[in-house]
Amino acid sequence: MTKEELKKRVGQRIVELRTQKSWTQSDLARACGKDRQALEKLENGKVNPTIYTLLEISKALDLPLSALINF
């Protein structure tokens, strides 16, 4: 798996988990203290998130960090 493929898969996983909660990008961004545009880039695989960013997202979704990379 390439770096680009990994970024896209993590982004897709975040979208899946966010939509399971019926949250918008804005809802998740607010819950984890990010701006919506940053979250949009992450979900689209345009940026390489830090492990801390992934941790903040997992906490906001009330899921373990492993849920974001379990695909």
Structural domain range at position 41: 3-69
Inform me whether the pLDDT recorded for 64 exceeds 80: yes
How many domains is the chain built from?
Answer: 1
Element (H, E) at 17: helix 3-20
CATH number where 51 lies? 1.10.260.40
Report helix, strand or coil for 58: helix
- The two most distant CA atoms of the chain are separated, in Å, by 31
Of 12, 41, 14, which is closest to residue 28 (Cα–Cα)?
A: 14
Q: Does the structure show a pLDDT above 90 at 71?
A: no
Residues 6+ apart with CB under 8 A from 2: none
- Condensed to tens digits (0 to 9), the pLDDT of residues 1-49 reads 899 999 999 999 999 999 999 999 999 999 999 999 999 999 999 999 9
